[in-house]
Structure 1
Amino acid sequence: MTIKQKNIRLLIMKISFFVGLCLTIITTETSFAVSIKPILPNNQSDSGATYYDLRMKPGQEQELKLEVSNPSDIEQELAIELNDATTNLSGDIDYSDRSKQVTRDKSLTVSFKDIAQAESKTVVPAHEKRIITVQLKMPPEQFDGMVLGGIKISSIESRQSQSNDQGRKKIYIVAVKLTETDTPVMANLNLLQVLPKKADGKQTLQVTVQNDQAVNIEELEYTATITEQDSDTVLYQTKQSNYRMAPNSSTTFIIADEVNALKPTGRYSLQLTVKSKDTDQEWKWDKGFEIAKEAETHQKNSNHLMIYIVICSITLVFLFIFLITLLLLRRRRQRQYEAALYQKKRKRKRRKKSQPNKKKSPESKQKRIKKIKKDKHR
């Protein structure tokens, strides 16, 4: 490859990257309550860009400023997020917070979130301006390639506006690209995983591809071919184009078996080819995978779970009945005991009432006197 061809390719990559960043900003909410203007510093590489494209030095500290204007009659509260650029499932570079969906890529050594800081929110009064400041502190070690991230600013309108717009968030994103050298970095893709999975009743393959270099990749084309293992007969083939990848990120390319070419069980091979029209690079993989009796196993597990639920339910019902029976027996015994006690008390009262009414006969009295006299004589 000649130097002229390399320069042309580099120019095409820069143009594609610029267009992609512009599209990212254009596709945000047009009805944003405030207007945001990045204040580009002197070390801006491209003065005509609407995003930050900064040439930095190791250990350099710098402030990024954005001017926020609120032309409305309502005070606006803005939330500020600093996010790393990732690759979403649509095959595009995403500057939103996706930390809950994907973990940080292992190849990402210098993260935009690690070197940038800002307030989490700000308030812009009606018909006034505010400056949002992002503090940058570059790592002490020099790096080649780029650090790519985004400043995401979102607004929730007032309660009066929420009633009309259902509290929808308005979003504005400014991309930030940081470089330190002109050393070219070639992209490199790795096939990390091929995972068969059922989705909406169809067999799919979730293919995870990683870009482990600090450079973005434009105009990617995926060609996937599925055959039975140890066979050249093509069962299914699909092709997707116009994909992009962020630096040091992974994405999942989903292949859906639209024609039901794959059996519920079997061993297959995936031949995946990824081409980049920008860099004229090509990656090929041949990966075997197996579709197990997932549906059957899932059904068995569901049946087992249902059996356990039924057993537990019946056991709980019996325990409930047993406890209620014990409680009723206890109450019955308590009532019997109380009734018996009550009867005893009544009998005692009757005896007490009957004893004072008994009159002692005169004969018995005389016998007692005689007995006492006899005892004295003795």
Structure 2
Amino acid sequence: MKVRKILLIIVAMMAVFLSVAKVISASGLDFSVQMAIPTNQIDNEQSYYNLLMNAGQQQTLQIKLVNTTAKRVKVAVSTNTATTNMNGTVEYATKKQSPDKSMQYSLQNYVKTPKQVTIAASGSVIVPVTVQMPKGELRGVMAGGIVFKQVNDAPASTSGMTVINEFTYTVILLMRQSQKIIAPNLALADVGVTQLNRHNALTLSLRNNQPGFLNHLTIESKVTKLGAQKVIYSTKSTDMQMAPNTTMAFPIRLGTDKFVAGDYTAHVIAYGLPAKDGKYIDTSGQHFTYKWNFTKDFVIQEAKANDLNKRSVATHGWPWWLKALIALVVILLASVIGMLIILLRKKKERKRE
């Protein structure tokens, strides 16, 4: 009994320290989404809107939200223009990034929705989405997402834990005036220095400056000292995608290395659209339709390097709170083991008596 009580006390103590906050996202919606497919949908088998429209055409899409609970549900509605994150994934539900300067038409400026709707318990509601094709020529495609976010009046909370509910569902929306495929074009705008989770990294600012998706993108990058042959850092990423007229801050991670001020050169080779008969071949032997070569000189300033190095894992190692937590867990485990050993010894001594 004593051993069991000690274990319960230890578990309770650890729970207090470990259960500080919990963020839940994306999988627990209290409503379902049903799209009404219009006659100008390019492919009825697609699970998103892919509309072929005339210049200046306006139409209203209908999206049905069905409440799957016995309580009233509020849903916020918004529209975003598609962007590309640093992992080479197209984002349809965020406004964190700005489009490339080459973007002629931003989808979110041509879509109107109600800001919020309320679905009665076990009921449904039709959300009208008005889309307007620009009056001018659209060479490629406008891409974005219609975002439905469940609204909670107040975050639920329990003792020792805060639960933040943020549930969303995004309907992808593509709008075009022609089904003609636009050839992609990639450009390297700049090389910068930054930190990702307190790890030093270089970023290649890559631009897809055409109004079409750049699919199955592969990037092979190397960094050398200016005028030198020796490769200091290198990385390769495959099967990425860029949205039309967007930028991507592609990272070259330095691990635990510190920045060293000086002059450098980035050597970048990018491939797009795999094809069996493609004339361009990457280092793994895969054939591609498109290829781009970039060489970009850049400077790491001493002041910037020092500032980032002071805040990096390379200088400070793990955060103090993580070190303290690990130390606490080790102490608690050592205490448990020590107590168990003492109790077992006493038990054996009693048996001998």
**Do both share a fold (TM > 0.5)?**
yes
For 1:265, the equivalent position in structure 2 comes to: 261
Q: Which has the larger radius of gyration?
A: 1
CA RMSD of aligned residues (A): 2.4
CA contact (8 A) 1:82 1:116 kept: yes
Match of 2:156 among 162, 184, 200: 162
Looking at secondary structure, tell me which structure has more helix per residue.
1
Structure 2 counterpart of 1:207, one-letter code:
L
For 1:277, the equivalent position in structure 2 comes to: 273
CA contact (8 A) 2:261 2:305 kept: no
Closer/same/farther in 2, CA of residues 298 and 149 from structure 1, 3 Å limit: closer
For 1:49, the equivalent position in structure 2 comes to: 46
Looking at secondary structure, tell me which structure has more strand per residue.
2
Closer/same/farther in 2, CA of residues 296 and 138 from structure 1, 3 Å limit: closer
Query: d(CA) in 1 for partners of 2:206 and 2:27?
Result: 33
For 1:117, the equivalent position in structure 2 comes to: 112
CA contact (8 A) 2:83 2:98 kept: no
CA contact (8 A) 1:144 1:182 kept: no
Aligned length in residues? 269
Query: d(CA) in 2 for partners of 1:61 and 1:277?
Result: 33
For 2:102, the equivalent position in structure 1 comes to: 107
Match of 1:33 among 26, 30, 35: 30
Query: SS of the residue aligned with 2:128?
Result: strand
For 2:238, the equivalent position in structure 1 comes to: 241
For 1:147, the equivalent position in structure 2 comes to: 142
Query: SS of the residue aligned with 1:166?
Result: strand
Match of 2:124 among 129, 138, 155: 129
CA contact (8 A) 1:266 1:290 kept: yes
Corresponding position: 1:90 with 2:99: no
Closer/same/farther in 2, CA of residues 295 and 180 from structure 1, 3 Å limit: closer
Query: SS of the residue aligned with 1:172?
Result: strand
Closer/same/farther in 2, CA of residues 90 and 139 from structure 1, 3 Å limit: same
CA contact (8 A) 1:196 1:290 kept: no
Deviation of 1:198 after TM superposition, in Å, equals 5.2
Closer/same/farther in 2, CA of residues 297 and 35 from structure 1, 3 Å limit: closer
Match of 2:251 among 225, 247, 254: 254
Query: d(CA) in 2 for partners of 1:63 and 1:236?
Result: 51
CA contact (8 A) 1:57 1:142 kept: no
Match of 1:289 among 291, 298, 319: 298
Any residues of structure 2 matched to 1:60-99 within 5 Å, and which?
A: 60-98=57-95
CA offsets per residue over residues 21-77 of structure 1, 9 Å max, x none? xxxxxxx83321101111111111111111111110011110011011112111000
Structure 2 unaligned regions, length at least 5: 1-24, 275-287, 309-353
TM-score by length of 2: 0.71
Query: d(CA) in 2 for partners of 1:251 and 1:85?
Result: 12
Any residues of structure 2 matched to 1:204-219 within 5 Å, and which?
A: 204-219=201-216
Structure 1 counterpart of 2:135, one-letter code:
P
Structure 2 counterpart of 1:122, one-letter code:
V
Closer/same/farther in 2, CA of residues 143 and 291 from structure 1, 3 Å limit: same
Query: d(CA) in 2 for partners of 1:36 and 1:63?
Result: 17
Deviation of 1:203 after TM superposition, in Å, equals 3.9
